[in-house]
Amino acid sequence: MGTLDYLVILAYFLGLIAVSVIMSRKIKSSEDMFIAGRNSSWWLSGISSYMTIFSASTFVVWGGVAYKSGLVAVVVATGLGIASLIVGKWISGKWRSLKIKSPGEFLTVRFGHRSVSFYTISGIVARAVHTAVALYAVAVVMCALIKVPDGSILASTGMPGDTAVGYLSIWWALLILGAIALIYTVMGGFLAVLMTDVIQFGVLLSVVVFMIPLSLHAVGGAGNFIESASQIPGFFSGSSETYTWSWLLLWVFLNVGMIGGDWPFVQRYISVPTRKDARKSTYLIGLLYFLTPVIWYLPTMIYRVMEPGMAMDLDAATMTYSGEHAYVNMSKMVMMSGMVGMMLAAMLSATLSNVSGILNVYANVFTYDIWKHKDKNRDADERTLIKVGRTFTVVFGLVIIVLSMLIPFAGGAEKVVVTLLTMIMCPLYIPSIWGLFSRRLTGNQLISAMLATWAIGITAKLAIPASVMSQSLIESISGCVLPVVILAGMELWSKAKGLTDKGYDAICEYTDPHADKEPDERAKKAVKAYSHMAATCFCLTLLAIAALLLGKLLAGDAKTLEVKNIVIGFIAAICILDGSYAAYRIIEHKKNEK
């Protein structure tokens, strides 16, 4: 990468921090800090939820699957769209119907405070390690692209676990990325998370959309790509030996649990004004996952056919390595300087979005349902609650950064740990959803069901050989089928005994009377203000990318001039989009003046 790429990355990070500073001035209460005062618009919540699913694995792992197996990666991602539609129909609106301020508050009312402690401890441990590994993965990509002169304080130390000599040190990369996510989450709270998610969505979408015609141009056109890719066995098949149709079905239901019950998603459902908005935000996730997977994975699919012999003679290990580096290699092949930096910023932003969402939602639960639950803290004022939330965010964020710095010394053990922790996290989604609808499930049954699920699932994972059942299928069954079977058994037992749980009656009385009402004028004004901020951030992000490309054209950059028509068309599309939004705002302003 060149100097311009580094300047682009620096400008991007400074932009995220600037947004957090602006958003910090909007925080007047703990509700603003953690759920945007319930004034997030449905589309803003939907885009933020969509970005919550992203991480570097979208490009590295699943981009590698697209490189190796083709269309099946798109089908797998589309499964998230199907899951989102199911959640939108039956679950997300149910969450918004409650007057809870955090996912933990639901657990307290429905199952008792013991279940909140159980969920929080389990979630913090699993999420901390899982997020640390995700941060480390994207830091490795960052280091591989950023060269640093020997002798610089930022250069590799040459120690075991650090990057190659002449590149950015992995320790500095982790510290920089972690600090940026920490700063804008602490300062701007959930408002900053929402706004930066929109910026990150704009960067991701625009850069990858721009990359597609460049990739097709490099391969000789869409027709040549399709003709060449058709020679790769199963490249345009919707399933594969690894990702069978039965696995894909389990994948859909596993993601119904995640999108319907995972805390970062619940936080976004309760941040909108009405139940209708919560459902619409989830439908937007589904729509985006029907439309965008082919956009994300087409560049690596194209890169595959550009490999010598279409990489069909490579062994499995080499194929995996090539696939995981396909996105970066394709970017360097077709992108001009500056845009390579923008592509790296897009990959980094995917993980930063995930990290910031985790930090804020756990700060939310800790503040409302752990710290404030103590008798001496029950009457704490809003300023104190904000301070507690920010303090927890800093501490939890530092723990994640430290854990990420220890990963190079794990010797590959972190992969086993993450797999086991994933088997702990995934089943946790389901009891929350179950408790929304079941009047019989108790807090003790919830904890017992999870302990039984973990014991059986992890034992099966360690004991059953891959020759008998694939490891991915074991993980899917443990995360989705097993907890449902155990909970269903408990439900039938309670029904046979004629037992009900008083927590269900309590949560039924916890209904928000405003969830089905049209927001008042003050709320409408706040929703519109946040929507305008988000749309402005999105349009300014696109404008910055257009300005960068225009500058490359005017400077006579050879690589840019080779694809001049594509660049001009892309700049024109951005100008039309931004111009349309500017015209809308002008018309709206004139209407308000009358």
Please state, as a whole number, how many other Cβ atoms lie within 10 Å of the Cβ of residue 464. Answer: 14
pLDDT of 552 = 94
pLDDT of 420 = 63
Give the CA angle between residues 539, 541, 547 to the nearest 5°: 100
Same domain, 541 and 552: yes
Q: What is the CATH number of the domain that holds 565?
A: 1.20.1730
Same domain, 447 and 573: no
- What residues are paired with 147 via a beta bridge? 167
pLDDT of 579 = 95
- What residues are paired with 155 via a beta bridge? 168
CA-to-CA distance for 96 and 267, rounded, in angstroms? 10
pLDDT of 453 = 92
For residue 73, give Cα distances in angstroms to 130, 212, 330.
Answer: 22, 17, 18
Same domain, 439 and 383: no
Same domain, 215 and 145: yes
Same domain, 64 and 133: yes
CA-to-CA distance for 240 and 222, rounded, in angstroms? 24
CA-to-CA distance for 110 and 434, rounded, in angstroms? 11
Cβ–Cβ under 8 Å, residues 530 and 39: yes
Distance of alpha carbon 416 from the chain centroid: 22
546 within a domain of the structure (yes/no): yes
Exposure letters 524-546 (e unless 16+ CB within 10 A, then b) = eebbeebbebbbbbbbebbebbb
Residue 450's contacts (CB-CB under 8 Å, 6 or more residues apart) are 118, 122, 427, 428, 431, 483
For residue 247, give Cα distances in angstroms to 72, 74, 235, 486.
Answer: 12, 15, 18, 20
CA-to-CA distance for 33 and 37, rounded, in angstroms? 8
Same domain, 270 and 359: yes
pLDDT of 89 = 96
Residue 389's contacts (CB-CB under 8 Å, 6 or more residues apart) are 30, 33, 34, 189, 363, 364, 366, 367
Residue 269's contacts (CB-CB under 8 Å, 6 or more residues apart) are 45, 92, 95, 96, 278, 281, 282
Cβ–Cβ under 8 Å, residues 144 and 163: yes
Q: Locate tokens 């399933």: which residue?
A: 239
What interhelical angle do 316-324 and 326-334 show, nearest 10? 50
Confidence (pTM): 0.91
pLDDT of 415 = 60
253 within a domain of the structure (yes/no): no
Cβ–Cβ under 8 Å, residues 282 and 81: no
For residue 348, give Cα distances in angstroms to 10, 58, 381.
Answer: 12, 11, 37
239 within a domain of the structure (yes/no): no
Residue 88's contacts (CB-CB under 8 Å, 6 or more residues apart) are 279, 280, 281, 282, 283, 285, 286
Render each residue's pLDDT in the chain as its tens digit; 594 residues: 788 988 998 898 888 888 888 888 888 888 888 888 889 999 999 999 998 887 766 777 788 889 999 999 999 999 999 999 999 999 999 999 999 998 989 999 999 989 988 988 888 888 888 888 888 878 887 887 788 888 888 888 877 777 788 888 988 989 999 898 888 888 888 888 889 889 889 988 999 999 999 999 999 999 999 999 999 999 999 988 888 888 888 889 989 999 999 999 999 999 999 999 999 999 999 999 999 999 999 999 999 998 877 777 777 777 877 887 888 888 889 999 999 888 888 778 778 878 888 888 899 999 988 899 888 998 999 899 999 999 999 999 999 999 888 887 766 554 655 566 667 788 888 999 999 999 999 999 999 999 999 999 889 888 888 788 877 778 878 888 899 999 999 999 999 999 999 999 999 999 999 899 988 888 889 899 999 999 999 999 999 999 999 999 999 999 999 999 999 999 999 999 999 999 999 998 888 776
Cβ–Cβ under 8 Å, residues 281 and 42: yes
Same domain, 470 and 523: no
Q: Which helix (H) or strand (E) holds 32?
A: helix 30-35
Instruction: Name the domain boundary from 450, 484, 517.
Output: 517
Amino acid at 400: I
Same domain, 76 and 35: yes
480 within a domain of the structure (yes/no): yes
Cβ–Cβ under 8 Å, residues 210 and 218: no
Instruction: Name the domain boundary from 460, 484, 517.
Output: 517
163 within a domain of the structure (yes/no): yes
199 within a domain of the structure (yes/no): yes
Exposure letters 66-88 (e unless 16+ CB within 10 A, then b) = bbbbbbbbbbbbbbbbbbbbbbb
Q: How many domains does the chain have?
A: 2
What interhelical angle do 413-437 and 103-111 show, nearest 10? 60
Range of the domain at 470: 416-517
3-class DSSP state of 79: helix
Same domain, 34 and 116: yes
DSSP class of residue 315 equals -
Q: Locate tokens 């840019």: which residue?
A: 560
252 within a domain of the structure (yes/no): no
Please state, as a whole number, how many other Cβ atoms lie within 10 Å of the Cβ of residue 558. Answer: 8
Instruction: Name the domain boundary from 453, 486, 517.
Output: 517
Same domain, 184 and 299: yes
374 within a domain of the structure (yes/no): yes
Alpha-carbon torsion 357, 359, 360, 365, what sign?
positive
pLDDT of 48 = 92
Cβ–Cβ under 8 Å, residues 329 and 306: no
Same domain, 501 and 541: no
Same domain, 195 and 147: yes
